[in-house]
Amino acid sequence: MNNKSSQTQPKSKAAAGAAAPAPASLGYPRAGAAAWVTAAANPGCHAMWRGGRSGPNHQPGQSTGARAMIPGAGLPRRVMVDASHGNSGKDHRRQPAVAAALAGQVAEGEQGLVGVMLESFLREGRQEPGDPARLVYGQSITDACMDLDTTAAVFDDLAAGVRRRRERGRAAGAASP
């Protein structure tokens, strides 16, 4: 579930909780008679933290608190964090710092952080939509984005955080009786 940047954590938790179980509604299956129709459950549902009016929510204390609320909705303790939007102050150049903070949490052993959303395109920034002949190839016409080289560096940093978490886990396993 992706919360609006103005939503509170409890609203996002409730939305994720509502989306996880198998939904049922009145429908018309092949036989043509009205019946209750169900769909598959979505146990992979997770919350998405974007930051918002109260500021960013990607720092360890903020995101840990968010993940702690998720089990109350009957869901696994998982959250994806948007490195753009409210968490970067809508400044695409700040996304690498947000992602680095998240990579640090992962490196320290955080298991509940399951993904990071980035605004990325071939070229940095954004442009106003207009005459296709005047548009810059590879530059966004929606949200401002990091360029491809910056994105690759962010991926490297996130991957290093995962490697450090795995190394810590192996070391802890070897130290355990």
What does each C-alpha distance from 83 to 29, 41, 43 come to in angstroms? 42, 28, 24
Question: Residue 37: inside a domain, yes or no?
Answer: no
Q: Are residues 35 and 28 in contact, defined by beta-carbon separation less than 8 angstroms?
A: yes
Question: Residue 113: inside a domain, yes or no?
Answer: yes
Question: Residue 83: inside a domain, yes or no?
Answer: yes
H/E element, 66 = helix 60-69
> Distance (Å, rounded) from C-alpha 102 to C-alpha 73?
24
Can you give the CATH number for the domain in which 66 is found?
Answer: 3.20.20.70
Query: How many structural domains compose the chain?
Result: 1
Question: Residue 34: inside a domain, yes or no?
Answer: no
Question: Residue 36: inside a domain, yes or no?
Answer: no
Question: Chain-wide mean pLDDT for the chain?
Answer: 83
Among residues 64, 47, 59, 50, the alpha carbon closest in space to that of 10 is found at 47
Give residue 61's pLDDT: 74
Maximum average pLDDT range among 19-28, 47-56, 147-156: 147-156
pLDDT band at 138 (very low <50, low <70, confident <90, very high): very high
Give residue 9's pLDDT: 56
Question: Residue 2: inside a domain, yes or no?
Answer: no
Question: Residue 165: inside a domain, yes or no?
Answer: yes
- 120/61: higher pLDDT: 120
Domain that holds residue 61: 43-175
Question: Residue 168: inside a domain, yes or no?
Answer: yes
Over residues 66-70, mean pLDDT: 68
Task: Answer yes or no: is pLDDT of 18 > 90.
Answer: no
Q: Compute, in degrees rounded to 10, the torsion defined by CA atoms 59, 5, 73, 67.
A: -10
Task: Answer yes or no: is pLDDT of 27 > 70.
Answer: yes
